[in-house]
Chains A and B, each alone.
Chain A
Amino acid sequence: MESLDILGKSIAREDGNEMVSGESRFVDDLEPKGVLYGAVVRAGRPHAKILNVDTGKASRAKGVVCALTAGDVPHNSYGPSFPDQTILCHDKIRYEGDPVVALCAESWEEAEEAARLVKVDYEDLPPVFSPEEALLEGSPLVHPSHPTGNLVTEGKVIRGDIEAGFAEADIIVEQTYRSKAQEHASMEPHFCMAELENTGRITVHVSTQTPFRIRGDLAKVLGLPITKVRILSSTAGGAFGGKHEIMLEAFAALCAMKTRRPVKFRMSREEEFTASTVRHPFTMDYKTGVTREGKITAVQIHLLLDGGAYASAGGGVAAKAALMGPGPYRIDNIRADFTLTYTNNGFSGAVRGFGATQTCYACERHMDLIARRLNMDPLELRRRNALKTGDPAHSGDEITSCGLGETIDTATKAVNWDAIGRGAKSACGTKRMGRGMAAMIYPVAGFGKATPSAAFTRVNEDSTLTVIVGIVDVGQGSNVVLRQVAAEELGIPVEDVNLINGDTSVSPFDPGSTGSRISHLGGKAVKIAVGKVKAQLLEKAAGMIEAAAEDLDIRNGEVFVKGAPNRRISLKEVALACHKSSEPVVSEGTHTSTDLGVDKETHQGKGFECYVFATQCAEVEVDIETGEYRVLHLVASHDVGTAINPMNVEGQIEGGSSMGYGLGLMEEIQMKEGRVQNPYFMDYLLPTPIDSPERVTSIIVQTHEPRGPFGVKGVAEPSVNPTAPAVVNAICDAIGAEITDIPATPEAVLRAIRNGR
């Protein structure tokens, strides 16, 4: 392992103070002269034919400047997987949030008032709300032109011989698990502002994870070349997978082009629930064969996903869910099928954890069920099957670094596994104590194909470094991380690295801040680019101090001869010398993994860049009369590869576990006839600080990933996954009964207690 100066240090992110003091400027804080404000007319019904759209009265309303209908959209078709979405609906409504008219006015209030004046005539169509029903012969079709009806897509993971595996088993454990729709609940809802420049270029300020996807999709919709569309990604107040496709950008751009004035659009909190993506509700059938000694011999999984009205990223979500579904265990015989359906519910899409969150819950709940059937400590069952470095992942590719065993050991030790839980009575007669654990495997970066990042670098005449990337920091803290990587690689202080990002007109292309890929792939691109300028500087320095370039290194802004550190020259002098002799010190760095690719039929091959692992343990106290519970201690031990910035890693673990806690215990978008019943924070309950575990212990397990820059893997998404199963397992341990569906509300817990008796 390299000895590191800057990596591994908890350096504060540069925007931290302004974020907490409220000084950060978000899109909504931009108020250029003459700006207009938009509002969207949405269907408010799940399935209908549009008979007529009348914007007459709305267009004449006070303050209204422009109203758009489907006919105003040059190319009215887009979608993250395939184009099944329209910017504005023209013939048909597929869910309650479907947009029909977008208009803008001199104030938010006037725009919203005018939106209520738009008259749309509908003819309601028979709807379909459950994925099971959607697949039945003769069900109403959400997209009549989709070749496979309401089946968006299906696929399977096949490994080994599932029948032979079951034949080897002593017992077979079967159970069905269900999870509900979860909202990203970013503090900052979707916002964007578009401005038309004199050159005809349209600039869109937007809070997004994927500026280049927005640029590409928006250019297509507008019928413009990508050079005429510039995305400026502004400070983001959270994203979590929700800001990863176009939502409002086309409305703003089209209005700006028509009115030649800047135009803002925003989503209300209600629209966040009713008109943007949510986490897919899953039904998960698990069937596991296991020997009496606790060796898992076969796993068969079937996943049924409610995709809602549009495919969005659903196919990828389903496949990742299936590939991670067997969990972090060495299992030679696997069959995991997934089925993604259309319904007239709100549409599901990318959310932190990308499907693997749901299957992590089912898998880990199922492991406890198996342990109970075997009368074995759930810890022992997991230890006996845990993956190790060199084992194959479920896509058959070799796991190049695995710290799972260490996460199991450290998490169970920190929670004091042997001494807690198991239904012990607490001092108060109505409470029972429980312990639970959950382990996890999660892949880094998008799958089956390379998703390279790229970086431009320039060493300035004072030896400071400018790094330009297309990578955006949506709150996860990647900016400071990339600066640390650059500083480490060049051998200069972090303060001397200036990172420029967020402008598609200057940055190299980037696939986006998704898939927990930035530290690993963004880090790699930055490291490669910086490595090139470093080589150039060393070459120059070599001439200046009469040594061979390969004998030189840089540390803390000084070039020195390795082994003779007194022979040195400051990097400043070297940079200035380059500058004076008109030798630009610039580079571009990128890396495309060439070994990625999976077989479409079996999903076998090289699935991902690398894998991270984790174990979380929970200690809970359950009130057996009311079903209420408190988590006394949550321990989250995560293998992240090299931790570039441990404080950031802990932040991700704590934030992620809170989101996982919400999914498992509290959060649920409640649907009735295709309408969200709780589209606001009064009844969609996120955990507050006093609901969250009373104590959270984050443990960072560092392994060295050979594919990563400096051994780095990642952490962003996976921190969400093991929390729900760890806590629900602990509740089940306390009450001595089984819960299968989440969220496990107090009412659900009490029902389990009463049924279990």
Chain B
Amino acid sequence: MRGFDFVTPTTVQAALKATKGKKYKFIAGGTNFMPDLRHDHSGETKLVIDLMRIKSLTGISAAKGTIKLGALTTVTDLLESRLIAREAPILVAMAAKFAGPIIRNRATVAGNLIDGGPAADIAPPLLALKAAVKLAGPRGRRTVALDKFLTGYRKTDIKPGEIITEITFPSPGKNHLHGFYKLARRNAMAITVVGASVVLKMKGGTCQEAGIALGSVTPVPIRCYEAEKILEGNKITLDLAQKAAEACVVVATPIDDIRASAEYRQLMCEVLPRRLICQAAGISIDPS
């Protein structure tokens, strides 16, 4: 670890300005940044720009059917927000399984998405909610759908000098159903082996719109468009859930690593979406 300058701007403009002509890194909660730093002996980073004091990047709000999460929204914020509990309880379910209380207090939504790791836990529920990422940069502001923003293994569409300012998603409405599963080798403080998120907008027993996403089975969390289509416009049955689950397996390209084999992950890509869809729709499963 080598020394670097550390600045604490209080506005987005000041933060953007600070980046000009520098080898910089942003830091939010620091829960990815700090562990990475321990193993970085290159000394390349000369400037660290702390985003945590920028008020305009905080807060959870709802307006005209859109839910907005400030980039600095922490996992604890999600866990404790009444608005989120009402509008998008899948994020509460996710937050309850995320790391442990100490990390949750610092870990931010934007930091999780920027990291772009396959096991980023906030991504699958946000993908299922069809979220978008708002960015500010030297060329102004832009909005990118989250599924387009996450481009590959630890890669995102963020451009040099850009900051995530906000994550937004359309409110899935009062009658939506959801399911979240984090399969990991430990019940807390563990990296996800397979993650699955399901959001179903229902009308009179029919699925109007579905959002299904998986984590840790592709280089970056993904939406399962085919599976969503199978459910949309239909009454949910065990059979249909099974078909959607099989469509999830098709998009998964899991690998073997120290946490699980590709084979196990592949199996779970079927089990978890089926289970989540059925549980959400109140269908009982008895695999015996």
**A430 close to B261 (CB less than 8 A):** no
**B window 8-59: CB within 8 A of A:** 41
Indicate whether B271 reaches chain A with its CB closer than 8 angstroms: yes
Interface flags for B258-278 (1: CB within 8 Å of A; 0: not) read 111100100110011001000
The segment from B137-145, B188-196, B220-228, B246-254 found at the interface with A is B188-196
Q: Which residues of B contact A685 (CB under 8 A)?
A: 185-186, 190
Q: Which of A116, A678, A683, A750 contacts B267 (CB 8 A)?
A: A750
Confirm or deny: B105 has a beta carbon within 8 angstroms of a beta carbon on chain A: no
Size bin of chain B's contact surface: 20 to 34
| Distance of A659 from chain B, by nearest CB (Å) | 15
Interface residues of B in 178-236 (CB under 8 A from A): 183, 185-191
A429 located at the interface, meaning its Cβ lies under 8 Å from any Cβ of chain B in the complex: yes
Q: Is B1 an interface residue (CB 8 A)?
A: yes
Stretch from A126-134, A296-304, A459-467, A623-631 that touches the partner: A623-631
Judged by a CB distance under 8 angstroms, whether B282 is at the interface is no
Stretch at the interface among A241-249, A506-514, A686-694: A686-694
Chain B residue nearest to A432 (CB atoms) is B288
CA distance A681 to B189 in the complex (A): 9
Bound-state Cα–Cα, A690 to B184, Å: 13
Q: Which residues of B contact A746 (CB under 8 A)?
A: 183, 185
Query: Contact at B187–A429, with CB atoms within 8 Å?
Result: no
Q: Which residues of B contact A116 (CB under 8 A)?
A: 41
| Residue of B183, B260, B261 with most chain A CB atoms under a 10 A cut-off | B183
* CA gap between A681 and B191 in the complex, in Å: 11
CA distance A454 to B267 in the complex (A): 60
Q: Is the CB of B185 within 8 A of A666?
A: yes
What string of 1s and 0s marks CB contacts (under 8 Å) between B112-146 and chain A?
00000000000000000000000000000000000
A690 to B97, CA, bound (A): 11
- B261 to chain A: which residues have CB within 8 Å? 747
B160 within 8 A of A: no
**A37 to nearest B CB, angstroms?**
15
Of residues 692 to 751 in A, which have CB atoms within 8 Å of B's CB atoms? 745-747, 750-751
Q: Is A1 an interface residue (CB 8 A)?
A: no
Q: Is residue A677 within 8 Å, beta carbon to beta carbon, of the partner chain?
A: yes
Query: Which residues of chain A from 633 to 676 have any CB-CB distance to chain B below 8 Å in the complex?
Result: 666, 670
Measured between alpha carbons, how far is A284 from B18 in the docked complex, in Å?
A: 62
- Residues in chain A near residue B190, CB distance under 8 A: 685
Residue on A with the closest CB to B284?
A: A429
Contacts A430-B275, A677-B258 given: A626-B185 contact, CB under 8 Å?
Answer: no
Taking the complex as formed, is B286 at the interface, i.e. its CB lies under 8 A from any CB of chain A?
Answer: yes
> When chains A and B are docked, how far (Å) is the Cα of A750 from the Cα of B264?
8
Q: A13: CB under 8 A from chain B?
A: no
- Interface residues as binary, A402-438 with B (CB distance below 8 Å gives 1, 0 otherwise): 0000000000000000000000010001100000000
Q: How far is the CA of A461 from the CA of B245 in the complex (A)?
A: 81
How near does chain A come to B216, taking the closest CB pair, in angstroms? 13
The smallest beta-carbon distance between B65 and chain A, in angstroms, is 35
A682 interfacial by beta-carbon distance below 8 Å: yes
The reply to whether B275 and A745 contact each other, CB–CB distance below 8 Å, is no
- In the bound complex, residues from chain A placing their C-beta under 8 Å from that of B189 are 681-682, 688
Residues 72-125 of A contacting B (Cβ, < 8 Å): 109, 116
The distance in angstroms between the C-alpha atoms of A735 and B205, with both chains bound, is: 36
Which of chain B's residues have a CB closer than 8 A to the CB of A430?
275, 285-287
Question: What is the bound-complex CA distance between A116 and B268, given in angstroms?
Answer: 43
CB distance from B199 to the nearest CB of A (A): 21
Residue of B nearest to A692 (CB): B187
User: What B residues does A666 contact at CB under 8 A?
Assistant: 185-186
Contact A688 B188, beta carbon cutoff 8 Å? yes
Question: Across the interface, which residues of B come within 8 angstroms of A628, CB to CB?
Answer: 183
Bound-state CA distance A71–B7 (Å) is 48
Q: How far is the CB of B127 from chain A (nearest CB, A)?
A: 22
Contact in complex: B188, A429 (CB < 8 Å): no
Shortest Cβ distance from A681 into B: residue: B189
Write out the residue numbers on chain A whose beta carbons fall within 8 Å of the beta carbon of B187: 688, 690-691
Q: Are B284 and A626 in contact (CB under 8 A)?
A: no
Contacts of B41 in A (CB 8 A): 116
CA distance A628 to B186 in the complex (A): 10
Contact B258 A678 (CB under 8 A): yes
Q: In whole angstroms, what is the CA distance A99 to B123 when docked?
A: 43
B186 contacts A625, C-beta separation under 8 Å: no
Distance A751 CA – B264 CA, assembled complex (angstroms): 9
Is A625 a contact of B258 with CB atoms below 8 Å? no
Which of these, A429, A677, A747, contacts B285 with CB under 8 Å? A429
Residues of B that sit less than 8 Å from A by CB: 1, 41, 100, 183, 185-191, 258-261, 264, 267-268, 271-272, 275, 284-288
Q: List 26 A-B contacts (CB under 8 A).
A: A116-B41, A425-B288, A429-B284, A429-B285, A429-B286, A624-B287, A625-B271, A625-B285, A625-B287, A626-B268, A666-B185, A666-B186, A670-B258, A677-B258, A682-B189, A683-B191, A683-B258, A690-B187, A690-B188, A691-B186, A745-B185, A746-B183, A746-B185, A747-B260, A747-B261, A751-B264
What are the 8 closest A-B residue pairs judged by CB atoms, nearest first? A429-B286, A747-B264, A690-B187, A625-B271, A685-B186, A688-B188, A670-B258, A691-B187
Assuming A425-B288, A625-B275, A691-B187, what are 20 further A-B pairs, CB within 8 angstroms? A109-B1, A116-B41, A429-B288, A430-B287, A625-B285, A626-B183, A626-B268, A626-B272, A670-B258, A682-B189, A682-B191, A683-B191, A683-B259, A685-B185, A688-B100, A688-B188, A745-B185, A746-B183, A747-B264, A751-B264
